[in-house]
């Protein structure tokens, strides 16, 4: 027997299919994880690719908000026949995607100040009730009735939760922040949906219809859920690297073209190698800071962005690993692996295992051992004097 949740409202008394409620929550969580993961590191991309990533994230997040709402509404059960107008349903989906896109544009094309984070979160949160009430207005043979107080309450809660989602997910843009932001996002979308329903009455319009729609609500809910997961899955597979790739898999041994000699930093009057002063940008608490390159132990590529290891701290660096390599070459940094750029002055140990080497860094405990590709071993050994 399928479970049901009754809301006990005046007029037509609704209930919900618990299976579709669970499916709606799963869709919201999947969409939240996809959208927040896609934009991780987008600041390090050129404007064109960054816009493409933001667009995909807007489709994932906005489409996820709509999919969650639509699946939950398809699970709504009333004692009369009802269905949804296709055009109004499409408009509600577009509204969610556009408002989510506006929030993401603020987050990724304007400074991440406290005011901008709040503005983006408010827009994201406002998109949920806007989509919800537009979507409900498309009900046929049944009219939803919500008072101004109920609409205002649902909107206020949604905006507040949207701000919380953005503050969490865009704190340090690490994996923990994205996972926690995903949980808050999914919970917020579902909570606002049912909070809005709790303040809505359903009244039959008096129209009669002999036959229902060509596709039943249960079948349509299954198709929407499947489509939501397929779209999010495609975006995740093509645009997200959330879990670090093992070194052996990340840098397979393959023939490579001859490499140019490693750049040699200029020497001072005593003949000692001197690093050129280069400042490396990084993000912390929504602001851009700069670190002296001499204090940086290494930079690690992770998907579309780069992690900077500054002593025991780790920070997001807006440079891609290729751009960092070009900018820091004069400061003596070496690309030892497809995913790692190291400062040889911070290398405290070196070992070799068959065709691969390993560097260790005492002053950067969060870095661990850094792999050195076979093709890059000669460069590092020469700099280290081995």
Q: What pLDDT score was predicted for residue 206? A: 66
Domain identity same for 230 and 260 = no
Task: Please state the rounded mean pLDDT for residues 136-144.
Answer: 83
Q: Structural domain of residue 109, as residue ranges?
A: 4-239
Out of 171, 206, 239, a domain closes at 239
Domain identity same for 151 and 82 = yes
Out of 239, 258, 280, a domain closes at 239
What is the C-alpha to C-alpha distance for residues 347 and 362, in angstroms, rounded to an integer? 8
Least confident of 188-192, 222-226, 372-376, 378-382: 222-226
Domain identity same for 212 and 305 = no
Q: What pLDDT score was predicted for residue 364? A: 79
pTM for the model: 0.58
Residue 260 predicted with pLDDT over 70: no
At 307-347, the pLDDT tens digits run: 888 888 888 888 888 888 888 888 888 898 888 889 888 88
The more confident residue out of 276 and 89 is 89
Task: Please state the rounded mean pLDDT for residues 346-375.
Answer: 82
Domain identity same for 173 and 257 = no
Tell me the pairing of strands 349-353 and 356-360: antiparallel
Among 186, 97, 199, CA closest to 145: 199
Domain identity same for 46 and 176 = yes
Q: What pLDDT score was predicted for residue 104? A: 92
Phi, psi of 35 (to 5 degrees): -65, -45
Q: How many domains does the chain have?
A: 2
- CATH number at 288 reads 2.40.50.1020
What is the C-alpha to C-alpha distance for residues 204 and 59, in angstroms, rounded to an integer? 34
The more confident residue out of 121 and 138 is 121
At 5-39, the pLDDT tens digits run: 444 334 566 676 778 788 888 888 888 888 888 88
Out of 239, 266, 300, a domain closes at 239
Identify the bridge partners of residue 202 per DSSP, sorted by sequence position: 11, 144
Residue 40 predicted with pLDDT over 90: no
Domain identity same for 84 and 178 = yes
Domain identity same for 361 and 267 = yes
């Amino acid at each position: 027997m399928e479970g049901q949740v009754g809301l006990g409202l005046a007029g037509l008394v609704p209930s919900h299919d618990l299976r579709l409620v669970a499916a709606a929550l799963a869709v919201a969580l999947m969409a939240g994880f996809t959208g927040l993961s896609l934009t991780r590191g987008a600041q390090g991309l050129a404007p064109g690719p960054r816009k493409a990533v933001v667009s995909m994230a807007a489709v994932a997040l906005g489409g996820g908000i709509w999919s969650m709402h639509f699946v939950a509404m398809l699970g709504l059960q009333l004692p009369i026949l009802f269905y949804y107008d296709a055009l109004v349903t499409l408009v509600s989906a577009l509204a969610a995607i556009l408002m989510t896109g506006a929030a993401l544009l603020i987050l990724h094309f304007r400074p991440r100040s406290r005011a901008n984070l709040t503005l983006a979160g408010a827009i994201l949160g406002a998109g949920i009730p806007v989509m919800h009430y537009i979507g409900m207005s498309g009900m046929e043979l049944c009219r939803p009735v919500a008072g101004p107080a109920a609409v205002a309450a649902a909107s206020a809660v949604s905006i507040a939760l949207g701000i919380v989602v953005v503050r969490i997910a865009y704190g340090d843009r690490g994996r923990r922040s994205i996972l926690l932001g995903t949980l808050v996002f999914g919970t917020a979308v579902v909570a606002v949906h049912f909070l809005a329903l709790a303040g809505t009455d359903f009244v039959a319009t008096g129209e009669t219809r002999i036959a229902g729609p060509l596709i039943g609500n249960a079948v349509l809910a299954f198709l929407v859920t499947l489509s939501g997961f397929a779209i999010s899955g495609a975006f995740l597979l093509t645009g997200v690297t959330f879990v670090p790739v093992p070194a052996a898999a990340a840098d397979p041994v393959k023939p490579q073209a001859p490499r140019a000699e490693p750049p040699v930093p200029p020497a001072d009057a005593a003949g000692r190698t001197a690093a050129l002063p280069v400042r490396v940008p990084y993000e912390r608490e929504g602001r851009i800071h700069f670190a002296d390159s001499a204090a940086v132990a290494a930079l690690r590529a992770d998907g579309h962005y780069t992690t900077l290891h500054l002593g025991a701290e780790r920070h997001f660096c807006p440079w891609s690993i290729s751009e960092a390599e070009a900018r820091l070459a004069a400061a003596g940094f070496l690309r030892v692996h497809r995913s790692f750029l190291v400062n040889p002055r911070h290398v405290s140990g070196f070992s070799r295992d068959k065709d691969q080497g390993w560097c260790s860094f005492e002053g950067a405990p969060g870095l661990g051992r850094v792999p050195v590709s076979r093709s890059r071993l000669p460069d590092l050994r020469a700099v280290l004097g081995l």
